[in-house]
Amino acid sequence: MEILTLKTFKAVVDEGGIKGAADKLHTVQSNITNRIKKLERELDTKLFTLVGRKLQLTPSGHHLCEYSSQIIQLESQAISAILHDKGSYELRVGMPETFAAIHMPFALKKLKKNHAEIRTKIYTDTSDRLVSAVLNNKVDCAALGNAPKHKNLITFPIFQEELVVVTPIEGDYDPVLFVRDEGCGYRKRAIFWRQEAGRENEELMVMSSADGILGCISAGIGYTIIGKDMVIGSRYEESLAMQPVSYGPKHVELSIIYRKGSLLEPGILTLAKILTK
């Protein structure tokens, strides 16, 4: 079995089909299909079955998926180890978009100035999906809030961010709670606050960016529960009011998470210490 074929198989699994895998691997769908067929011939077994319009793994496919993840991870670790020994390596760092905009610029500038051997590559996603990305070796580490406990992960706390209720400065706003997409740590805190505050009947509005949420709130369309650092310095700060949350946790703990045994741990900890407040 070739590494490329296993990566193609894993991409089909992760992306939920041929088209998603082709987009991820920057190739045409026919190449993906041919590689999967070749792999099935080589193993003399079916790896997928078609249920409706969706591909599902067969029992053999599930077994291969587990081994593929380990093989791909070992390949990545081998490359990282060799590059590390040569004195220059890439560090793939995942984080939510808001973290990338607010907290990372200074850290990346300092890392580049003092640790030129570490070349960072940034990926953005929700906190929930970033945990999966670290476990599946899509990124080397991730910065996120309220990191879950996992036997294969190491968590390095970097700072606590105060949670605030954000409303228009005029005080008049619609009873609409703005939140981010599923998987966002702040969304979970906001919905919990709404429940504890007895405001469960209020409308929930989902937006993809914190900037868009703050813009709507400044216009009086609703309110949100979010990290204080996201409001301070934003273009809407002067038109918004902030109050500490009155229910539930008062802070979100942000951490760097990475896989146990990672060969890039020194570089990860270097970045984590720069981010520590």
Q: What are the sequence ranges of the domains in the chain?
A: 3-81, 83-160+253-275, 161-251
Domains 83-160+253-275 and 161-251 share a fold: yes
The predicted-structure confidence for 127-174, as pLDDT tens digits, reads as follows: 888 998 998 888 999 999 889 899 999 999 999 999 999 999 988 999
Mean pLDDT for the stretch of residues 260-274: 90
Above 90 in pLDDT, residue 209? no
Query: 213-249: per-residue pLDDT in tens?
Result: 999 999 999 999 999 999 998 999 999 999 999 888 8
- Give me the pLDDT at residue 75, please: 82
Question: What does the pLDDT read at residue 169?
Answer: 94
Q: What is the 3-state secondary structure (H, E, C) of the chain?
A: CCHHHHHHHHHHHHHCCHHHHHHHHCCCHHHHHHHHHHHHHHHCCCCEEEECCEEEECHHHHHHHHHHHHHHHHHHHHHHHHHHHCCCEEEEEEECHHHHHHCHHHHHHHHHHHCCCEEEEEEECCHHHHHHHHHCCCCCEEEEECCCCCCCEEEEEEEEEEEEEEEECCCCCCCEEEECCCCCHHHHHHHHHHHHCCCCCCEEEECCCHHHHHHHHHCCCCEEEEEHHHHCCCCCHHHEEEEECCCCCCEEEEEEEEECCCCCHHHHHHHHHHHCC
When the pLDDT of each residue in the chain is averaged and rounded to a whole number, the result is 90
Average pLDDT over every residue of 1-8: 90
Place of tokens 């990305």: 133
Higher pLDDT, 134 or 185: 134
Domain 161-251: which topology?
Answer: D-Maltodextrin-Binding Protein; domain 2 (3.40.190)
Mean pLDDT of 100-123: 91
- pTM to 2 decimals? 0.72
Q: Which overall architecture, per CATH, does domain 3-81 show? A: Orthogonal Bundle (1.10)
Q: What is the pLDDT of residue 9?
A: 93
The CATH class, in words, for 83-160+253-275 is alpha beta
Give backbone dihedrals phi and psi of 259, rounded to 5 degrees, phi first. Answer: -75, 145
